[in-house]
Structure 1
Amino acid sequence: MAGRHYDRSGFHRFFWGDHNRTVWTTPVKVPVLHLDSLYGGLTVEEKGGGFQTTSFTLQDSLGRLYALRSLDKDPLEVLSPFWRKTFAANIVRDQTSAANPYGALVVPALAEAADVYHGNSSIYYISPSDTSFGEYAPAVQGKLFLLQDKFESPADLLPSFGAAVDFADSDDALLNRFEHNTHHFNQEAFARARLLDLLVGDWDRHKGQWEWAVEKNGSETIYYPIPKDRDQVFLKMNDGLIPAIATSKFVVRKFHSFDEDFDDVQAYMINSEFMDARLLHALSLPEWLQIAGNMQAALTDAVIERAVRRLPAPVYKQLGEDLADNLKSRRDKLPEIAEKMYRILAEEVTIPGTDAAEHFLVNRLDNLQTEISVYRKLDNHRKGRRFYHRVFNRKDTKQITLHGLAGDDSFEVKGSVQDGILVNIYGGLGEDTIADSSEVAGLKRKTRIYDTPRGNELYFGTEAKDMTTDDVRVHAYDREGN
């Protein structure tokens, strides 16, 4: 059993929910882990894990890395020392039963069909007499663990990763993207990965839940997403008197339960807000719909049924058919969900440059459309290659914010219209040139320029509003998301 201790009385379940308790308390048959023989022999490289999971990094004889993570969690460390000694500790511990301990087994087949990079997952049992983990043996003996591929170096590359040459974690990938305008995230690939998150109900997609496959295309470096840590897929938390109240839109909205529908798309985007805002700002609605349509076609009934069959047989017998039906229902609604995600993200959009020199061009095309282009600046201040382009619609977007960051950037705003989108320009560090020759009818100025007045050339024209200040904090932009 993955979690015998989640078997609670009917009285307890009335208040705290049935959740996935029957899954946790169902006996399953899985292989026994033998470190000395699996993959030619595995060695324990280090003990890791966050506040909740017991985990280890293992390495095989070829240098490939694997993550071994406990199915059961102990969230005690997320509580303050005071609460750890109270009834709250038992309640928080008990609510782990809302997760599906075997959900990660279902995801790889779905990811493969959806063209999302992924690793493989298997469940193993560690014998009560196993001493191969040395000093950590008492922490693993007699428990179920999830073994997954890990991606840190070229040794971990799989054939399915195509042209990838290396891996990066989110911190390094973001650092490179903001320092160099030759480093980019593939936003179409990230949109596919995020739609897959919603398909399987994974609400916990913060910055640390991603690795990145690195591809080279001439002088350009492109990052492709690899989702990891599928602990929260197929969550069931909306039963039980207290959890049903606690997970409403007015309390802890993000703990959203998995069923046949997407009744609260925003809930799935709370933990991913930082990454979504920085990695999905280039996609138009037609692009979102095309990505969703392609995924919908690829995720056939046969693919979904094959994926769900990866559950242990006794668990499949309990919930396999319902889970497959729910996945099919959600697949059928992917275009609708893609449009909802687009509209949430499109309302206020931030487009950051890099620490290199760039030219931002804002062209107010007509009363509805505003075009944003970003170019590299050459040494002679001429425009180089365009690396960002999108046309925004005023019906979808209320505000666009441009950040120049640290380079000697130039900003140009032009176009004469009756109405338009509010554009905020933050020149950032460096000696910037900002010129607005646009015109928008009405008293409200639709261009606002934020920078320090010294060291910059600023031309406000008749449209731009002067928001300059001597406070250098005007240059601040959250790159890390910590």
Structure 2
Amino acid sequence: MTKRFPSVVLLLLTASGCARDSYFQPDARVSYPAPMAAGTDSAVVTAGRHYLRGPIGRLFLGAHYRKAWATPVTLPVLDPQKAVPGGLRFGKLGGGFQTTSVTLLADDGLAYALRTIDKDPYKTLPKVLRQGFVLTTVRDATSAGMPYGAMVVPPLAQAAGIPHANPRAFYVRSDESGLDVASERFRGKVVLLEEKMEGKINLPPSLRGASELEESDEMLEERYRSQDHRIDEAAFLRARLLDLWLGDWDRHEGQWSWAAFSQENGRTLWRPVPQDRDQVFFRFNDGLLTWLASRIVPKFRSFKPTYESVEGYTRNAHFIDQRTLSELPRERYVRTAHDLQKRLTDEIIHRAVVKGLPREVYALEGARMEATLRARREGLLHVAERYYGLQAKEVLVAGTDDNERFVIERLSDTATVVSVYRLGGGKAAPDSLLYRRQFNPAETHRVVLHGLRGKDEFTVSGSVSHSPFIDIYGGPEEDTVQDTSHVSGLRKKTRFFDTKRNNVLEGGKETKDHRSHGVASHAFDRDGSGR
């Protein structure tokens, strides 16, 4: 039976009408192809009536949000000259592998992103699969997203104390020409228009006073280059717990901007700004095949009253989570979850859903969405503790390209303290603490230290029976490890990775020496590129 399963799937998909040459609706207007009068300011449209399926299709592929995609709603017609005061003009084309987008510019210097609600994952597939039922089935998965979900988020983010954009839905006329070279790409489509939060001028009110707004790769480059740059981990945790509450599983490093705030001590604090809310309220595993897919691909977690796998919800964000949540203890996770529970009241939830969803879609989904948000709010504390457990299992502690001293103190069987200091003049000054956290081996299996560039020192002390593994990566330039610690047992709990030349290991009975002639140990992925 197992060997026949792919053939059975192919037969069922074909029988359900999923393999179609012409997939997308030709125009969002329900009355298409009837002409649209000049000057019309609203239109009755569907976000994607091509996602409708018969009983067999819904059984195997899931009901998802098909009704929301196919329900006629009344939306304003986009007029680039009236969408914002002073009008909008073409800036540049954009978009990822699935979404069509363009940057539009206003007279006051602000930039706006215009992007289609519907997606086409054609380019995400290998060329050999860009046809037939495979392509059509992957395209169909877009219906698992709530087409108007992004418009529900702003009031919730506002109440949570998290920066946000304010997306608005429009219909683009089939004869629109005011978007310059991008006009043809958007004609006949339902789109979202929102502030584009980038650069210094495009800042939401909650971030006034910031000196700059950068993407994650640029922020991380600054963070690892100099000790004068730090990340507001508490603010990032708050934003990530909101992501979990909303069921937003696609929060990789490309989904964030970072606002730079100058501090009195001359340093810079980077605060997170969430972007792109395309996957909030995701509903996927309500069909036989999609349920199976969700077991194979854990990141496809659905928005339900009870949380599914927290590991699945956070898989896409592992890289950025690891680099921006290395310092916070369990107590901070619990306290933040409690605060969010108090802020996100029933009234705020109701107002956000009513305001965000078109009236016709609210009649279909509003009550269910509100009830699910209320239920998930009650479970947020447990989810925060589970999220902490995942982040605490293996912790990355990275220095900078400046000189640092890493102090590892094995104080007891339940407490290993890692501190990082600025290193100047050959010693760490009392006010030079950059990082400190206490680790319990019951929670943390391994702590990975990266000195990066600079001449770094690592000291390890203490005699205990239990301790997390400590992996030390010295990085380029001369580094020194002094280990006087001891952990009971046969396995050495400290490992030193570096080159043999110009790097010193002192003491080290507890340290396993992994120094080599190659420089592979110097590799550290700073920006998500894998380099």
Match of 1:256 among 298, 301, 304: 301
- Structure 1: gaps spanning 5 or more residues: none
Give 2:169's aligned residue.
Answer: 123
Spell out, residue by residue over 1:183-229, the C-alpha distance to the aligned partner (whole angstroms, 9 max, x if none): 11111111111111111101111111111111110321111111111
Distance 1:246 1:285 in 2: 33
| Contact kept in structure 1, 2:90 and 2:180, CA below 8 Å | no
| Contact kept in structure 1, 2:163 and 2:204, CA below 8 Å | no
| Contact kept in structure 2, 1:125 and 1:144, CA below 8 Å | yes
Give 1:475's aligned residue.
Answer: 522
Give 1:102's aligned residue.
Answer: 148
Match of 2:336 among 283, 291, 300: 291
Identity level (%)? 43
Deviation at 1:77, TM superposition (A): 1.0
| Contact kept in structure 1, 2:102 and 2:182, CA below 8 Å | no
Give 1:142's aligned residue.
Answer: 188
Distance 1:445 1:426 in 2: 16
Give 2:504's aligned residue.
Answer: 457
Where 1:267 maps in the other structure, the secondary structure is helix
Distance 2:507 2:367 in 1: 63
Equivalent residues in 2 for 1:39-438, closer than 5 Å? 39=84, 40-218=86-264, 219-248=266-295, 251-309=296-354, 310-383=356-429, 385-438=432-485
Count of residues in Structure 1 that have an aligned counterpart in Structure 2: 480
Distance 2:426 2:465 in 1: 35
Spell out, residue by residue over 1:232-275, the C-alpha distance to the aligned partner (whole angstroms, 9 max, x if none): 11111112221111111xx1111111110112111111111101
Spell out, residue by residue over 1:427-457, the C-alpha distance to the aligned partner (whole angstroms, 9 max, x if none): 1111112101112223322211122222122
- Structure 2: gaps spanning 5 or more residues: 1-45
Distance 1:282 1:380 in 2: 26
| Contact kept in structure 1, 2:301 and 2:308, CA below 8 Å | no
Deviation at 1:10, TM superposition (A): 1.8
| Contact kept in structure 2, 1:124 and 1:144, CA below 8 Å | yes
Distance 2:167 2:236 in 1: 21
Distance 2:159 2:361 in 1: 23
Spell out, residue by residue over 1:10-37, the C-alpha distance to the aligned partner (whole angstroms, 9 max, x if none): 2222222211100000111121111112
Distance 2:259 2:73 in 1: 34
Where 1:155 maps in the other structure, the secondary structure is coil
Distance 1:422 1:406 in 2: 23
Q: Which deviates the most, 412-421 or 261-270?
A: 412-421
Give 2:339's aligned amino acid. N
Distance 1:369 1:396 in 2: 11
Where 1:156 maps in the other structure, the secondary structure is coil
Q: Which deviates the most, 407-416 or 446-455?
A: 446-455
Deviation at 1:137, TM superposition (A): 2.2
Deviation at 1:389, TM superposition (A): 0.8
Give 1:146's aligned amino acid. L
Deviation at 1:465, TM superposition (A): 1.9
Q: TM-score, normalized by length of structure 2?
A: 0.88
Deviation at 1:64, TM superposition (A): 0.4
Q: Give the 4+ runs in structure 1 shifted more than 3 A.
A: 379-384
RMSD across aligned positions (CA): 1.3
Give 2:66's aligned residue.
Answer: 21
Give 2:192's aligned amino acid. L
| Contact kept in structure 2, 1:460 and 1:466, CA below 8 Å | no
Distance 1:259 1:409 in 2: 48
